[in-house]
Amino acid sequence: MAATLLILSIAIPWFGALVVWLAGDARPRLQHGLAVAFSVLAGAVAVALLPFSSSQILLSIPVGGAFGDFTFAADGLGVFLAVVATVVGSLAVIFSVGYMRGEQQLGRYYALVLFFIGAMVGLVLTTNLLLIFFFWEITALCSYALISFYNDDPKAVAGGIKALIITQLGGVGLLLGALMIFSYTGSFDLRDFIAQAGNIPQTALAVMAFGFLAAAAAKSAQFPFQTWLPDAMEAPTPISALIHAATMVNAGVYLLVRFYPAFAEVPGWRTAVMLVGMLSALLTAIMAMVATDLKRALAYSTVSQLGYMVYAVGAGGLFASQFHLMSHSVFKALLFLSAGAVIHGVGTRDMRLMGGLGQKMPFTRAVFVIGALALAGLPILNGFWSKELVLEAGLVGGPLWMWVVMLVGAGLTACYTFRMVWMVFYGQPRAKLHAHEAGAAMKTALAPLAAGTLLTWLLAGPFSKLLESTLPLHALESHSTLHYLEEVALAPATLIAMVVIALGLAAWWQRARLQGLVNALSGVARAAADSFGFEAINRGIVRATQNSAENLRVTQTGLVSWNIFGIMAGLVLVLVILLLGA
Partner 1 sequence: MDATTALTGLILTPLVASPLVYLFGRLAARAGAPRNPARWLALVVLAAALAFLFPAGQAVLNGSAVEVVDGAIALRMDGIGLLLAAAVLVLGLLVTLFSSPYMAGEEGEEKFYALLVMMCGTMVGLGCASDLFNLWIWFEAMAVSSYMLVAFYRQQGASLEAGVKYLVQSAAGSALVLLGIALVFSQSGTTSLAAIRAGAAAGSGPVLMAAGALFLIGFGVKTALVPMHTWLPDAHSQAPSGISAMLSGVVIEAGLVALLRAVGALAGVSTSWGLLLMVFGAMNILLGNLMALRQKQVKRMLAYSSLSHVGYMLIGLGVTVGFQLAQGAAGGFFHLLVHVLMKGLAFLAAGTLLYALHLAQGSHHPLVADDLNGAARRYPFIALVFSLALLSLGGLPPLAGFMSKWQIFVAGVQTHNMAVIVLVVFAALNSVLSLGYYAPLINRMYRKEIGPVVEMGKPVPVVMAVPLALLALALVAAGFYPALFGWLVNPAAASLLVAFGG
Partner 2 sequence: MTLNITNVAVLVVLGLFATGFYGLLAVRNLIKVVVALQILVKGAMVALVAAGNLTGQLQAAQSMALTVIVADTIVAVVALALAVQVRRCIGTLDIKALTSLKR
Question: Which positions lie near partner 1, rule CB under 8 A?
Answer: 63-67, 104-105, 108, 130, 133-135, 137-138, 140-141, 144, 148, 151-152, 157, 160-161, 164-165, 168-169, 171-172, 175-176, 179-180, 182-183, 545-546, 548-550, 552-553, 556-558, 560, 562-564, 566-567, 569-571, 573-575, 577-578, 580-582
Angle at 504 between CA 384 and CA 420, to 5 degrees: 85
The binder of partner 2 chosen from 203, 428, 548, 556 (CB under 8 A): 556
- Among partner 1, partner 2, none, residue 502 binds (CB under 5-8 Å by kind): none
- Among partner 1, partner 2, none, residue 554 binds (CB under 5-8 Å by kind): partner 2
Question: Which string of b and e fits 465-476 if b means at least 16 CB within 10 Å?
Answer: bbbbebbebbeb
- Written as one letter, the residue type at 296 is R
Distant-in-sequence, close-in-space partners of 9: CB < 8 Å, separation ≥ 6 = 42, 45, 46, 49, 82, 86, 118, 121, 125
**Candidate ranges 154-162, 418-426, 449-457, 556-564; the one touching partner 2 (CB under 8 A):** 556-564
The binder of partner 2 chosen from 26, 400, 512, 559 (CB under 8 A): 559
Contact status: 564 vs partner 2 (CB under 8 A): yes
CB of 262 to partner 1, least distance (A): 17
- Among partner 1, partner 2, none, residue 478 binds (CB under 5-8 Å by kind): none
Contact status: 557 vs partner 2 (CB under 8 A): yes
**Candidate ranges 184-192, 243-251, 327-335, 563-571; the one touching partner 2 (CB under 8 A):** 563-571
User: Rounded to whole angstroms, what are the CA distances from 195 to 109, 212, 264, 468, 579?
Assistant: 41, 17, 13, 17, 47
Measured from the CB atom, is 458 or 577 closer to partner 1?
A: 577
Q: Is 511 helix (H, G, I), strand (E, B) or coil?
A: coil
- Distance separating alpha carbons of residues 72 and 78, to the nearest angstrom: 10
Measured from the CB atom, is 104 or 546 closer to partner 2?
A: 546
- Distance separating alpha carbons of residues 235 and 240, to the nearest angstrom: 6
Distant-in-sequence, close-in-space partners of 209: CB < 8 Å, separation ≥ 6 = 177, 259, 262, 263, 266, 269
Contact status: 551 vs partner 2 (CB under 8 A): no
Task: Determine the longest span between alpha carbons in the chain, in angstroms.
Answer: 84
CB of 551 to partner 2, least distance (A): 11
- Distance separating alpha carbons of residues 65 and 349, to the nearest angstrom: 51
Which residue blocks in 356-427 are alpha helix, DSSP H? Answer: 362-376, 382-397, 400-425
Measured from the CB atom, is 515 or 557 closer to partner 2?
A: 557
Measured from the CB atom, is 203 or 556 closer to partner 2?
A: 556
Q: What are phi and psi of 72, to 5 degrees?
A: -135, 145
Contact status: 432 vs partner 2 (CB under 8 A): no
Contact 236, 151 (CB under 8 A): no
**Candidate ranges 64-72, 394-402, 421-429, 560-568; the one touching partner 2 (CB under 8 A):** 560-568
Residues forming contacts to partner 2 in the complex (CB under 8 A) are 553-554, 556-561, 564-565, 568
